[in-house]
């Protein structure tokens, strides 16, 4: 799996072939319909990405519990009630031959207070973002019974994804969400079998992979999104990621995607907790090359790639796939442009505000603006004012949160 080119197929451990090395990585769209299922907006958006030429399309967060969303207007898959709509979504993703994987997730403690639902995590450790901490519901620790029930939820959602026509799932264990919280000693203070040693902190992830595998076909792909580090002192470090990947080697995992950061340390947008920038494109590549030394499954790197030369460099060594997120939110046809020899690139979205948490929110708001435009069949406007985008997204989120509270009350 070395020395590959961007448009060379990749054969996964289970025999499935991804037609090229470019993945549309997950982004949170907040574009679910009134039933918190994929409606016309998401189908239209993903059809545009399929037409753009990515070999693998990974959805944004699909929640395993309607009471635990990463944000308003999130997609929830708990039952077969709206499975037909999920089928249309899968069809759109696969319409040009791409593999279509559903990212399945639970926010853990990262639940917005505006959603009106209790937050649960490995321990009662609140989200700490200066000036924004009150935006999150105070968490309580999960009981062992609740942990077992959550593992079953992931397995059920994966089985439903397969029935809908998706070709795989990606279990989200990065960016400070539930499994990432279990992995980090900063957020996992448990003294039982689910906390303490790294082996115990990894237990819920390993058990979930095993439960999912038991419910899906061998040709259904199971991937994991893992932090290479969370960029917080005393947290989950690169050495921990190495050991977790060694544990994943013992299970039928088809791919590991490496990213980094959390809400408290938004390295997803290229910054660390102390505000310093992760200066170059493919800023998780250095970690990935270390992890590749022990990994027995293909690795994918996501984070900041927006130029063909950088994408080619990512897959020229020990890394098998490159994930594009923001770049494809701005220009969904990049893979096809690169395939035809064009060196098209996307300018980075830079918000140089002093408050790094607000700057991170502004970047995310500009990206979500582009997703909304694409979902309406319109052209993107990456030059949108970050302040206007942030205010607009906050107002929209407030409306969506109100709609969610009404929906959950009726449900």
Average pLDDT of the chain is 91
Residue 269 is predicted with a pLDDT of: 43
> In this model, does residue 394 exceed pLDDT 90?
yes
Length of the chain: 411
Residue 270 is predicted with a pLDDT of: 44
> In this model, does residue 268 exceed pLDDT 90?
no
Confidence of residue 4 (pLDDT cuts 50, 70, 90): low
Residue 190 is predicted with a pLDDT of: 98
> In this model, does residue 280 exceed pLDDT 90?
no
Instruction: Taking residues 184-193, report their average pLDDT.
Output: 96
Instruction: Taking residues 57-86, report their average pLDDT.
Output: 97
Instruction: Taking residues 270-288, report their average pLDDT.
Output: 52
Residue 231 is predicted with a pLDDT of: 57
Per-residue pLDDT reduced to its tens digit, 95-117: 999 999 999 999 999 999 999 99
> In this model, does residue 267 exceed pLDDT 50?
no
> In this model, does residue 294 exceed pLDDT 90?
yes
Domain ranges for the chain: 10-346
Per-residue pLDDT reduced to its tens digit, 15-66: 999 999 999 999 999 999 999 999 999 999 999 999 999 999 999 999 999 9
> In this model, does residue 273 exceed pLDDT 70?
no
Confidence of residue 297 (pLDDT cuts 50, 70, 90): very high
Residue 272 is predicted with a pLDDT of: 36
Residue 356 is predicted with a pLDDT of: 82
> In this model, does residue 283 exceed pLDDT 80?
no
Residue 115 is predicted with a pLDDT of: 98
CATH 3.20.20.70 fits 10-346, yes or no: yes
> In this model, does residue 374 exceed pLDDT 60?
yes
């Amino acid at each position: 799996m070395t020395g590959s080119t961007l448009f060379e197929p990749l054969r996964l451990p289970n025999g499935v072939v991804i037609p090229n090395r470019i993945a549309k990585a997950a982004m949170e769209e907040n574009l679910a319909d009134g039933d918190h299922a994929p409606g016309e907006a998401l189908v239209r958006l993903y059809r545009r990405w399929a037409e753009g030429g990515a070999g693998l399309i990974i959805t944004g967060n699909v929640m395993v519990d309607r009471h635990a969303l990463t944000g308003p207007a999130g997609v929830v898959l708990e039952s077969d009630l709206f499975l037909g709509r999920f089928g249309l979504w899968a069809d759109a993703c696969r319409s040009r031959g791409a593999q279509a994987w559903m990212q399945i997730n639970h926010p853990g403690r990262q639940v917005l207070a505006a959603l009106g639902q209790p937050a649960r995590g490995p321990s009662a450790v609140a989200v700490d973002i200066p000036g924004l901490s009150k935006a999150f519901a105070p968490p309580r620790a999960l009981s062992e019974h609740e942990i077992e029930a959550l593992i079953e939820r992931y397995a059920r959602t994966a089985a439903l994804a397969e029935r809908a026509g998706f070709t795989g799932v990606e279990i989200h264990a990065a960016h400070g969400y539930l499994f990432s919280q279990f992995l980090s000693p900063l957020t996992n203070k448990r003294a039982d079998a689910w906390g303490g040693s790294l082996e115990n902190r990894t237990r819920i992830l390993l058990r979930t992979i095993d439960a999912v595998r038991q419910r899906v076909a061998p040709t259904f792909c199971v991937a994991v999104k893992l932090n290479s580090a969370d960029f917080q002192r005393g947290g989950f470090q690169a050495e921990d990621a190495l050991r977790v990947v060694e544990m994943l080697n013992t299970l039928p995992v088809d791919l590991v995607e490496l990213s980094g950061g959390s809400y408290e340390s938004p390295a997803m947008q290229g910054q660390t907790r102390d505000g310093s920038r992760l200066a170059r494109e493919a800023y998780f590549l250095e970690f990935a090359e270390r992890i590749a030394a022990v990994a027995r499954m293909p690795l994918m790197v996501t984070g900041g790639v927006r130029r063909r030369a950088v994408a080619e460099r990512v897959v020229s060594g020990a890394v098998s796939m490159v994930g594009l997120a923001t770049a494809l939110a701005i220009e969904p046809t990049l893979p096809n442009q690169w395939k035809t020899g064009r060196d098209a690139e996307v300018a980075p979205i830079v918000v140089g505000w002093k408050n790094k948490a607000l700057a991170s929110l502004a970047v995310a708001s500009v990206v979500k603006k582009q997703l909304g435009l694409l979902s309406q069949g319109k052209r993107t406007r990456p030059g949108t004012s970050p302040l206007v985008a942030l205010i607009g997204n906050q107002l929209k989120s407030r409306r969506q949160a109100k709609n969610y509270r009404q929906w959950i009350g009726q449900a």
